[in-house]
Amino acid sequence: MEPPVVEKLLALLSDREAEQAKVARMLHDDAGQVLSAIGLHLEVLRVDLTPEQSAQVADIQKLLEMVISRIRAASQALHVNVVERAGLGFALEQLASKAREKGTGITVQLQVAPGERWPNEPAHAAYRIVAELLENAMRHAGAQRIEIRMQSGVLEVRDDGRGFDIEKKTAGLGLLLCRHLAKRSRLGFSIQSGTGQGTIVKLTLHGH
């Protein structure tokens, strides 16, 4: 049985993901489709316009295409099923991109071995864990460089933050949540850290 605080955190995560999925569907199915329809109508109108007017409509269509592209990107970023639809590697690239945008001067490197695929349940748990580790590394550890590597069933997240003494420091809620997410999905979980030495977290897919 999970500790009450972890159960509460997991419930909050599930609620947040459900809300994100709802917003993602609205963006993709409603806003995206309406804008696409407007673009098609504009294309029909161009037939009866003067060359100058047609050029102006073409400019509007380019703006629409840009907006549609951004809506699709936002929809993918919000939708937790991106892990199932596009794979863990792609989902991690989305996380890394958001981390780079969030942290000024922070280097986030991602290496995924070609053909690396994880089953849905552990992949989803790994995605949640990496998201938590990135947030902790940037917000609490003061990291300037974060490396994520995934190959042969092993996912490693390494940062150059301030680290901590594992023997003395009580695990925070973020780390506690990561451990329980890993345990639920039968992922091996190990952590190495030391004061001023950064932190390395390894997730191991069952059977590797």
pLDDT, residue 147, reads 96
The Cα angle at residue 205 between residues 201 and 208, in degrees rounded to 5: 110
What is the spatial distance between Cα 10 and Cα 171, in angstroms, rounded to a whole number? 17
Q: What is the pLDDT of residues 100-155, one digit of tens each?
A: 887 667 899 999 999 899 998 899 889 989 988 998 888 878 888 999 999 999 99
Q: Tell me the one-letter amino acid at 83.
A: V
pLDDT band at 1 (very low <50, low <70, confident <90, very high): very low
User: Which pLDDT does position 27 carry in this prediction?
Assistant: 67
Q: What is the pLDDT of residues 105-115, one digit of tens each?
A: 789 999 999 98
- Mean pLDDT is highest, among 101-105, 170-174, 201-205, for 201-205
Compute CA distances 133 → 43, 66, 74, whole Å: 47, 32, 22
- Pick the closest to residue 81 from 39, 22, 35 (CA basis): 22
pTM (2 d.p.): 0.66
